Amino acid sequence: MASVKNATDGAPNAQGPVAVDLDIDNITEYVINGFNKNADVRMKFIFERLITHIHDFARETRLTTDEWRTGLDWLQACGQICTKDRKELITVSDIFGLSTLVDEIDHPKPPGATEGSILGPFHSLDAEEKTNGDHISSDADGEPLFVYCTVKDTQGNPISGARVHVWEADSHGEYDIEKADRTRPDGRGILRSNEQGEFYFNAITPTPYPILCDGPVGKFFEIAGRHEYRPAHIHFMFECEGFDKLITALYLRDSKYRDSDAVFGVKRSLVVDIHELDAETAAKYNLSGVNKLLRYDFVLASDSEANALRERHSAAALKALGRDASLPSHVPPTL
């Protein structure tokens, strides 16, 4: 029988790189080169960094086949539990701190601008338009709370006509869209800031609540020995022509879990006190049956301020990687 050599000389029928002596270290460049025909320079760059980090992760941890399989099975389970209203992968991003980080990256704030916080899974597109002073919650068990806010630019000028989405859980820590018997939006509304940049509404004092933990995320929390609660908060989202979209939330200083939010949304500057409502304010806004006040002054970054920061940060990040800073960093995704 003929003796057969087991090595190839790299015959020229190649598409892409030639079969090599692949090993633990050179495989990363080999895989990245395998995708070098990608015409989308932004996607190619993202893919390169993704592969580099996934491979470094496996190399550094000496990931075992069993661990690899466990991780993939867990990711599969995360996808399988998803529905129109349940987005487990977004919750994964939340509990890994990625949602907060991406908001920080994509919505940079100049000095003085209000910081962002995570959107969370409970924003709803069917919220009703409200007028200043309206009630947003029908929850009779909730402690009435008057919320008075202003919204200004970084120079201190009032912003009028800003569209302000507000939403909160009820006194049992449930959002309207979590309820099977929901007939109309509740605990939410869309306000407009007035000429003085003011907006105000009647709400209830929010309470802490657990994130949805009956699926893969819950299993992870159980094993990781971490609680699944968010501190009491009210969500705010600002949309206004000429200003960068602001998604944020205010967190109650005295709330349980304030310093251990399951999804890493709390920032020091977003922690607020609930005050006793003073008689002057009650009279001015014609309030009755309300004893509590939450007050906050929001500051929006302009589009040009946010864009200037994005460009500066992108250039710095690319330079730190030794890359051409002219690489486009904000091409729309195509996948």
- Which distant-in-sequence residues (6+ apart) come within 8 Å of 208 by Cβ? 173, 229, 230, 231, 232, 255, 256, 257
Contact status: 23 vs its own copies (CB under 8 A): yes
Q: Identify each DSSP E strand in 14-61 by its residue range.
A: none
Footprint on residues 261-320 left by its own copies (CB under 8 A): 261, 264, 266-273, 275, 278, 280-281, 293, 295-297, 310, 313-314, 317, 320
Gap between the Cα atoms of 8 and 274, Å rounded = 74
- How many whole angstroms separate alpha carbon 249 and alpha carbon 232? 10
d(CA 264, CA 257): 11
- Min dist. Cβ of residue 300 to its own copies (A): 15
Q: Does 2 bind its own copies (CB under 8 A)?
A: yes
Residue 30: C-alpha distances to residues 52, 161, 289 (Å): 11, 54, 69
- Is residue 80 at the binding interface for its own copies, with CB under 8 A as the rule? yes
Taking alpha carbons only, the member of 145, 270, 257 closest to residue 208 is 257
Least Å distance between CB 186 and its own copies?
27
Does 129 sit near its own copies (CB under 8 A)?
no
Question: Per CB under 8 A, which region of 9-17, 162-170, 172-180, 182-190 contacts its own copies?
Answer: 9-17
Q: Does 87 bind its own copies (CB under 8 A)?
A: yes
| Binders in 141-160 for its own copies, by CB under 8 A | 148
Which of 84, 85, 101, 158 touches its own copies (CB under 8 A)?
A: 101
Out of 85, 131, 321, 325, the only residue in the binding site for its own copies (CB under 8 A) is 321
Tell me which residues in 197-226 interact with its own copies (CB under 8 A): 219-220, 223-226
Number of chain positions touching its own copies (CB under 8 A):
129
Using CB under 8 A as the binding rule, whether residue 125 contacts its own copies is answered as no
Q: Which residues contact 217 (CB under 8 A, 6 or more apart)?
A: 78, 88, 91, 92, 95, 211, 228
Q: Which is nearer to its own copies, 51 or 212 (CB)?
A: 51
Nearer to its own copies, 185 or 310 (CB): 310
- Alpha carbon 301 to its chain's center: 18
Torsion over CA: 281, 287, 292, 297 (sign):
negative
Site for its own copies in 32-71 (CB under 8 A): 34-35, 37-40, 43, 45-47, 49-51, 53-68, 70-71
Nearest distance, CB of residue 187 and its own copies, angstroms: 23
- Torsion angle, alpha carbons of 80, 123, 212, 264, to 10: 110
> Can you tell me which of 111, 289, 322, 332 binds its own copies, judged by CB under 8 A?
332
- 190 binds its own copies per the rule CB under 8 A: no
Does the protein bind its own copies through residue 322 (CB under 8 A)? no
Using the rule CB under 8 A, is 20 a contact of its own copies? yes
Stretch that binds its own copies, among 136-144, 154-162, 204-212, 324-332 (CB under 8 A): 324-332
Nearest to residue 99, comparing CAs of 10, 11, 205, 230?
A: 230
CB of 281 to its own copies, least distance (A): 5
Shortest Å, Cβ 117 to its own copies? 9
User: What tokens were used for 7?
Assistant: 């090595």
Give the C-alpha separation, 279 to 107, whole Å.
39
| DSSP-assigned states of every residue in 274-335 | -EEPPHHHHHHTT--S--EEEEEEEEEPBHHHHHHHHHHHHHHHHHHTT--TTS-S-PPP--
In this complex, which beta carbon is closest to its own copies, that of residue 185 or of residue 303? 303
Of the two residues 140 and 223, which places its CB atom closer to its own copies in the complex?
223
For residue 146, what is the enclosing H or E element? Answer: strand 144-153
